[in-house]
Structure 1
Amino acid sequence: SLKPAPAPVTATQPAPAYDTIIPERPPLDPRYTFDRFVVDASNKVAFNAAKVLAEPGPVRFSPLFLHSNTGQGKTHLMHAIGHAFLAANPHAVVLCMSAERFMYDFVAAMRARDTHAFKRRLRGADLLLIDDLQFIAGKDATQEEFFHTINEIMTAGKRLVISADRCPQALEGVESRIISRMAVGLVADIKAPDLLLRRTILDRKLVDLPDLRVPTDVLDLIASRIHANIRELEGALNRVIAYAQLTGETIDLEFAIATLGEVLRGAQKRVTIDEIQKLVTAHFELKPLDMISARRARAVARPRQIAMYLAKRLTTRSLPEIGRKFGGRDHSTVIHAVRKITELRDQDRDIDAAVRVLMRELEG
């Protein structure tokens, strides 16, 4: 039965003490908890940092800045932090919103001439979760308020978690003082899931559906062909399951291919080594011959290694085939290039950003 709404607090009716009520819960997705997050090398640092930030006791770092491409687990980790923090601190004030919502609420408060209430609400949070920071780019008034909000949260020793689709330094249109504050805490990225992780995620999802049987070859098909992000991966599995339940048909490979026809075709953009070399030379302002030349100057060698890395990641060509396309180089040279760029992506934000841009353009 519906309960009557609580009476509004008035001047003659003092507000209850903090420890006598449980504040209204933030809109956290119940599915997004730490125990449902599949961990591997691509997201382990972000996962461990999120768990540490959610622990009760003194704040070890703040803010935590999470960044990755769309649909790779940022929002899941943010909600998991909220769930874990509230489980340990039931009376805490937790606010979770997108940067777009922050902007909308701030503009509404200005129009209503009531920015004081807006500021009091946000700065009173024990844990503030802001998703998709890139949406405030270029919004000067919003950024001004955002800066003062995060500054007060951090100065008060409270917890702050922010996510975006790129690292702080790559956020164009965001004030340098905000980026500087982000760098004070911990910045953790989540890389694209590899085949093994994608397959594990599908297995984990099926744990919640014990009465449903999805053959191994169907799961392998989805994991191998849907690689853009986890959201699309889970969506493809959900589609197969829903269609089977609606039609009463048995799930097998033929049914999955028929059901996911356009999804599989859309995910199957074939990237060639020639396309990779052309895009890399344009990006780094090199000559096409630099991809196959013997020049070892870093300005040429590093982009060439990036092109080899992308060829290994985005094509089905063998190592010897890739080597031949780069001036007849040995397969061991390709292995070295792949290892070197993998290592540099963790150490050099410029190289990581360049690789991300190139991969987005190639996978289109």
Structure 2
Amino acid sequence: MSKNHEEVWSRCLEIIRDNVSLQSFKTWFDPIKPIKVSDDTLTIQVPSQFFYEWLEEHYISLLKKTVKKELGPEGRLEYSIVMENNHTTSKPYTVRIPTSNISTVKNPSVSMPIDIGSKTIRNPFIIPGLKKVVVDSQLNPNYSFENFVEGDCNRLARSAGFAVAQKPGGTSFNPLLIYGNVGLGKTHLSHAIGIEIKKNHPNKTVLYVSSEKFTHQFIDAVRNNNTNDFVHFYQMIDVLIIDDVQFMAGKEKTQDVFFTVFNHLHQTGKQIVLTSDKPPVEMQGMEQRLLSRFKWGLSADLQIPGLEARIAILEKKMYIEGIELPKEVIEYLAYSITTNIRELEGALISLIAQASLNKKAITLDLAKQMIDKFVRNTAREVSIDYIQKV
């Protein structure tokens, strides 16, 4: 008596559902389609090569036991993978391969026409021909919470970021959107969150990526017909940090795929951190469905630091660099550069470089000379007496 492939797979899913988490079931088993049952072999269709390799890496034992329970001790599993051709004139084709023994076969090969196999995923976070996904978090170790100076200008954002780092995906700050003008520490804080999460939760997969890089990767994926792999890769991230999300404005297809990724991550309890130069209500060229999701969590702003905070930032920078400056020079720099932190630190480095190259001691006079060139349209001479009065 022949067995119906849909009924067999339905019974398999009942067993699998009881042995994996809900999010894993939705991600890795819902998309599978049963194709046929023939000679005690169940053939299932998976969306991509990446999908197949992930199942083989993480769920092969469960799949084998389930199939044998339904089809008997001789029961076997075969995959049908829809391989999309890189040439626009060619149609997608199907490759069928049997399940592998994960303990002996580390990277099962798939026979493909030479022109199809010549291109790989242009994703810097995925090693071509992968059996395992190796993710470089792209985090800068210098941008830690220890090196982040807290003040009235950033206290809410810093506190929310630290809370997220203790319990990623487990707070109401999801997504956490940090916004503010350029040079105020958005990138530093987003890296700090990622670094702290890796320290507290070393098994979590954290990824920092700029929205521009995300867009370029998506364009490459479309060009190489690897969109499914692109989406699956981002859906497996535990903590996704997107810098300068406002640059997705006007990019309809990029927003569509990010919407898909965002929904999956949020629904499965993963953490999303975004940075932008403006709050959601002021973003132009973004789809309303995305903007509404940006508002689900917390939007925290970074403001221009006050004089005391600017002095603290300079002192922290000097400590990190292992240098000392006269107090009057520090105060002069802090009062003169009021635009943003990036320019403030840039002025400090310029002053140190000038003194080093010209073999001069760093004095208030040298600082004034440098500031005259560094700051345009200075309204007035800044005196130490005035700083002290302030």
TM-score category, normalised to shorter length = 0.5 to 0.7
SS in 1 for 2:232: helix
TM superposition shift of 1:246: 2.1
Q: Amino acid of the residue matched to residue 105 of structure 1?
A: Q
Matched, 1:107 2:219: yes
Cα distance, 1:39 vs structure 2: 0.7
Secondary structure, aligned partner of 1:207: helix
Partners of 1:207 and 1:79 in 2: CA distance: 20
When normalised by structure 2's length, the TM-score is 0.62
Contact 1:22 1:90 in 2 (8 A): no
Find the counterpart in structure 2 of residue 227 from structure 1: 338
Q: Tell me which residue corresponds to 1:68.
A: 180
DSSP 3-state at the match of 1:217 = helix
For residue 46 of structure 1, what is the amino acid of its counterpart?
Answer: A
Query: CA contact under 8 A between 1:72 and 1:230: conserved in structure 2?
Result: yes
SS of corresponding position for 2:256 = helix
Is residue 2:364 matched to residue 1:253? yes
Answering whether residue 148 of structure 2 is matched by residue 32 of structure 1, we say: no
Q: Distance in 2 between matches of 1:213 and 1:109?
A: 50
Q: Deviations over 1:201-251 (max 9, x none)?
A: 1111111244x3311221112111111110000010011112212222100
Instruction: Return the alpha-carbon distance in structure 2 between the equivalents of residues 22 and 145 of structure 1.
Output: 20
Partner residue of 1:83 out of 176, 195, 201:
195
From 165, 188, 208, the equivalent of 1:54 is 165
1:77 Cα shift? Answer: 0.8
* CA-based RMSD: 2.2
Aligned to 2:154: 43
Question: Which residue is equivalent to 2:325?
Answer: 214
1:36-185 equivalences in 2 (<5 Å): 36-56=147-167, 59-61=170-172, 62-185=174-297
Q: Secondary structure at the match of 1:71?
A: coil
Normalized per residue, the structure richer in helix is 1
More strand by share: 2
In 2, the alpha carbon distance for the partners of 1:228 and 1:175 equals 32
Identity over aligned residues, as a percent?
36
> Per-residue displacement from partner, 1:254-291 (whole Å, max 9, x unpaired)?
1122233321235x368xxxxxxxxxxxxxxxxxxxxx
The one of 230, 238, 260 equivalent to 2:349 is 238
Kept in 1, the 8 Å contact 2:208–2:241? The answer is yes
Deviations 1:9-40 (A, max 9, x none): 8974159xxxxx99543121111111111111
Secondary structure of the 1:86 match is helix
Shift of 1:57: 6.7
The one-letter code matched in structure 1 to 2:267 is T
Give structure 2 stretches of 5+ with no counterpart.
1-52, 57-99, 109-131, 381-390
Q: Deviations over 1:157-198 (max 9, x none)?
A: 000000100001100111111110011111111111111111
Question: 1 CA distance for matches of 2:339 and 2:235?
Answer: 37
Equivalent residue of 1:33, what SS?
coil
- Partner Cα separation in structure 2 for residue 231 and residue 34 of structure 1: 17
CA distance in 2, matches of 1:253, 1:53: 42
Alignment partner of 1:13 is 2:124: no
Distance 2:252 2:169 in 1: 33
Structure showing greater radius of gyration is 2
Task: Evaluate the alpha carbon distance shift between residue 57 and residue 42 of structure 1 in structure 2; reply closer, same or farther with a 3 A threshold.
Answer: closer
CA deviation string 1:55-86 (max 9, x = no partner): 14761121001100001011111000110111
User: How many residues align structurally?
Assistant: 256
